[in-house]
């Protein structure tokens, strides 16, 4: 029975070799570098604090129309375990779901 292990880390350089050597097959460690200089720097190397998550979410949602009951501050608080890439994924998934819901309603 195959087993898949999926994990994230805020510091890929600190994964001990003893952990890496436990796997019989290749493992992949991808590190994203900053894409651009702005309020949002997509770094996987350091998990953002609540203030940084709020900035990231505001930047990602700046061109989006939100429902009146959506509070970005609340989302920033509730996403404490997420790194920047997770926030990007969350926003993309929510936008896709909203678009699908609108298309299905027509």
User: What is the number of structural domains in the chain?
Assistant: 1
pLDDT at 37: 45
97/19 Cα distance (integer angstroms): 37
Residue 52 counted as domain residue: yes
pLDDT at 4: 60
Residue 6 counted as domain residue: no
Q: Is the pLDDT of residue 32 over 70?
A: no
C-alpha dist (Å) from residue 22 to 16, 17, 87, 93: 10, 9, 30, 33
35-54 confidence digits (pLDDT tens): 444 444 444 446 788 999 99
How much is the average pLDDT of 2-17? 67
Residue 60 counted as domain residue: yes
Write down the H helix ranges in 1-106.
Answer: 17-20, 50-60, 72-78, 84-105
How much is the average pLDDT of 97-105? 90
pLDDT at 82: 85
pTM across the whole model: 0.56
Q: How far is CA 21 from the centre of its chain?
A: 27
Residue 50 counted as domain residue: yes
Residue 39 counted as domain residue: yes
Structural domain including 87 reads 12-105
CATH number for position 75: 1.10.8.60
């Amino acid at each position: 029975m195959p087993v898949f292990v999926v994990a994230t880390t805020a510091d890929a350089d600190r994964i001990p070799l003893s952990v890496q050597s436990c796997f019989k097959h290749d493992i992949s460690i991808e590190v994203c570098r900053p894409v651009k200089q702005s309020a949002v720097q997509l770094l996987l190397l350091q998990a953002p604090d609540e203030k940084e998550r709020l900035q990231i979410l505001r930047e990602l949602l700046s061109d989006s129309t939100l429902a009146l009951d959506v509070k970005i501050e609340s989302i920033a608080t509730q996403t404490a375990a997420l790194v920047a890439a997770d926030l990007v994924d969350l926003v993309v998934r929510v936008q896709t779901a909203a678009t699908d819901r609108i298309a299905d309603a027509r």
